Structures are given as structure tokens and as C-alpha cells.
Structure 1
């Protein structure tokens, strides 16, 4: 079986298992680059030495986090190929991901959030900003959200997150008011909760990012602002107001508690900074 054939079979299998299209697209790119480097060889002929040579070359140009993603992609394909019986030995079994330092999530202060709120002009801007901040949703979860996923009486929505898993998220009264005003202001019949301003149709991730960027430029905040930063700010806001880690983990849809605990470390880092500043 050729590497390209192994990928096609792997992709079909993982789609059935519920892997997200974004994950598969990212993995496909890595397999394509591997084939470009080695050629479309028989997967049984692939050796550990070839993989190490390829990854060693990659390490010269990639950041540790990008290299780790490359290793994960290759290991996933070859582990599956071994488990399915397409190869008798897994050449990637002993290859380890590079150590990646923990990145402290960038978040916005309450003052910065208020500055951004202040310069949201249209019902679309106000509702999109409030929904992102008050639910802590990933941008991909908002893009796929439909109006019938909203439970107005409960101020909640059902979103589909990573691994195609559904979870309930909640929004505050401010968001409820602007979301209703925004939907009432629309003249289209599109089922999407957020649509484009011209020729209304479901908004893309890029279009949502553009709107947040447009808002941040007006606010004049001296830092780059992007949708995922609002998600980080949501988690930090919950933590600073006393929410338990387990509750934040459930609300954000984190599979591993370690992912959520980064915010606890962030809170500790802030305390240290305040101590050094004021003591």
C-alpha cells in the first residue's frame, strides 16, 4: 500500500469516527509534505531512520509547536496503519514529540473589554462580541451555530465542539438583548445565527475575525485582538470570580483538565506580578 493510499483509507476511517474536518485537513497537509519529501513510497518500506531524517530537517525551520504537530500527524497515521495490519512494524513508535513550553494564554482586562463594548456600533457587532465573550465559544463553534440551537428561555445554546461533541453554553442578559435585536433587524431567512452584512449567508471564520479586528481598531487598544482571546478572557473572568476549575473545564468543552489548569497558572502568575509591583 502506498503512503497516499494509506492516507485515503485512514481519512475515511477517521471521518466515520468523528474526527473534525479541520483536524483531517491539517493532518492531510502533513502527509502531503511527507510524500513530497520521500516520494509516494510503499508504507511497509518506511523506516524510523527516514522519519528521523525528515523531522530533523523540519526542526531547522519549524517552531517546536509546529514540529510537535507534524510528529503527531505522522504518528497517528502510522499507529493506525499498524493497528489495522497494513504494516508489521510501526516505524514511528519510538519517535517522541519535542517538548513545547507552556504558553500563558493572552487575555483582555475588564477595562479593555469595556472599551471594546463601547465601540461596537451595529447590532451585529454588539451581538457577535457579546456572544463570543459571554459563552467562551470557539470561533468554529459559533460559525456552525443555527438560530434553532438557541434556548431563549434558558439563555443557552447547544454548540458542536471538538470531536463533534455537543455541549450547552450560556450567555448573559446583555448578550440576550443584542442577539434578539440583531435577529429582529435581519430580513433574510438564513438559519445561521450570524450572517454576512451584504447578501446575507452564513458567516465564515475569516469574516468573524475581520469584524473583531474592526472593533479593536476603533477601540485603539495597543495589542492584537482576535476571537480566541475573548475565549481566554472568558475563562480568566470565571476563574477570577471564583468558579471551580471543573466547572470552567465543562463550560469550555476541554477534554483534559490540564488544558483548563493553564488558567489557574495564569491567575497565579498575575498574583505574583501584582506582588512584585506593589510590595
Structure 2
């Protein structure tokens, strides 16, 4: 960088120090601003306009930087120019209105129906395995989050009606159906749960509420016993619930209600999972789906 850019960066860094920003954060700002100086090739930061910023972002994207990295870099530039406005070095922020490219949406991983049955149908013996079986059956049966499962109390269950009351995000309560397999597993667990001062539905050997980490470890052990080759984390049972219900019913609104999503758009990601399933069925079954060899 030339003297003008270096002086501006030093002054900006002093402001970051006054704001008690960490050394790591200040180093990231310095690196990002160095990118801008090198890519724009302008003599002074005051000469940077919106077009120059857009071109710099395009070059970084061409170099293979991820959308997340580009978002961080653009934020650094925006903050620099915002500071320069306060210092009356420039009148407007050249980054105003610019947005980084959106990261591709990651689809949640779900088990196939067969893999789910393999996971849940393994035999269980003894108190801890009966508890684990009841937990995992309930998570898949009702689409529960990990935190929702560990926060359940015995009083939240109504097995006579096969219902469970769940307190989700934002303390929003919802009443969910409990499938027959889950209800049977829960009845067996309650018979051996024993008396404890903790109201928790799922308790440890010490009689205390099971933690999220303990549940995740038990699921991994359960997976290994079932010979399931696919890695399974607790949220996959919820994803599998949503995907399988949607495949069978196509009722997106019902799935939204059962999952406790405030926004339907959050639930719509499962339509992509459903399409992937349909695409596999089509490719395997339709006589015109498979490509024929090119004999030309």
C-alpha cells in the first residue's frame, strides 16, 4: 500500500483499539483493507466509488473466495468508509446498498426410511437402552429438536391420548402426536424410570436431567450397535421426520406446524429433500430416465 492508504489504515486501527476490538479483529480489518487497496489500485481511499468496490468483489469471487468470506470483507470495507464519513473524509459510503453473493443453501441431511427403521428397530435390553429407545423413537415420531427433547418433563406426556406438549423456540408451545411405536417405548421406559426428585422425562443413571451432550453420545453408541453406516446426529431424526411426512402427505403447512417453524419459508427447504427423493425414484424406475449410450 502507498502512504495514503497506510496512513488511513493506521488511523482506523487506532479507532478500533479505542473501541477495544481484539487483535485478531484488527488484523482481519487490516487484511481486508489491504485487499481493497491492491485491487482498486487507487492512490487514495477517498477515490474509491461503488463501481470500484463492485469490481474488487468480483475479482475476489473469481479468485475462489467463499460467499461467507466475501461478506466479511465487504463488512470491513463498509465499516472503514463509515468511519471515514464520521471523520468527514468522504460524503457517502461506496459500499452502501451492496450485498455479497448469497451462500448456497445447505440441505439438511435426512435418513432414508429404511435406514431410520434399521436404526430404531434394533432390540433393546436394560434400563438405559429402554430409555434411549424411547428418546429416539419420540424424536423421530414427533420431530423434536434436541433441546426440546432434553427439556421434556414427565407431565408433558399424555400417553392415553398419545400427545406430547413441547416448548419450542421463543417459548412457543405446541401439542404433537406421538406415534404408536414411540408411545410403546415411552410406556416401557416410564415403568423402569423409577422415582427421582427431577421432573425430567429422560434422566441419567444418577437421576438427573439428561444433557444434550449425553443424548448425542448415546445416539452415536446406538447407531454403532445398529450397524448403520451413515453418521447420525440428533437433529437428523427431526429432519428425517419432516422429510418422510412430506413425502407421504405433501402437506407443507402441517409439517410447518409440527416442526414449530414461525415462517413457512424455513419449512420449504424440506421440499428440496422431497424432490431429491422423487428424482431418485424417477431415475430408477422410469424407462426413459436412463441415458442410452451414444452409438453415433
CA contact (8 A) 2:146 2:234 kept: yes
* Counterpart residue number, 1:114: 117
Q: TM-score, normalised by structure 1?
A: 0.67
How far residue 273 of structure 1 moved from its aligned partner, in angstroms, is 2.4
Q: 1:160 aligns with which of 164, 167, 192?
A: 167
Equivalent position SS for 1:119: coil
CA contact (8 A) 1:120 1:215 kept: no
Gaps (5+ residues) in structure 1? 1-36, 44-49, 73-89
Gaps (5+ residues) in structure 2? 1-14, 22-28, 37-60, 76-92, 288-296
Report the Cα distance in structure 2 between the residues aligned to 1:225 and 1:215, rounded to whole angstroms. 10
* Counterpart residue number, 1:249: 256
Equivalent position SS for 2:149: helix
Q: 1:102 aligns with which of 97, 102, 105?
A: 105
Report the Cα distance in structure 2 between the residues aligned to 1:131 and 1:254, rounded to whole angstroms. 19
RMSD: 3.7
Equivalent position SS for 1:192: coil
Q: How does 1:21-32 map to 2 (within 5 A)?
A: none
Q: 2:19 aligns with which of 41, 49, 52?
A: 41
Equivalent position SS for 2:175: strand
Q: How does 1:22-101 map to 2 (within 5 A)?
A: 38-39=16-17, 41=19, 53=32, 64=67, 94=97, 96=99, 98-101=101-104
Equivalent position SS for 1:159: strand
Q: Does 1:194 find its partner at 2:197? A: no
Equivalent position SS for 1:169: strand
Q: Does 1:240 find its partner at 2:247? A: yes
> Given the superposition, is the C-alpha separation of residues 193 and 51 from structure 1 closer, same or farther in structure 2, using an over 3 Å criterion?
farther
> Given the superposition, is the C-alpha separation of residues 254 and 39 from structure 1 closer, same or farther in structure 2, using an over 3 Å criterion?
farther
Q: TM-score, normalised by structure 2?
A: 0.63
What do residues 116-162 of structure 1 show as CA deviations (whole Å, max 9, x unaligned)? Answer: 12325221121011111001010011111111122223211221111
Report the Cα distance in structure 2 between the residues aligned to 1:252 and 1:40, rounded to whole angstroms. 45
Report the Cα distance in structure 2 between the residues aligned to 1:70 and 1:161, rounded to whole angstroms. 35
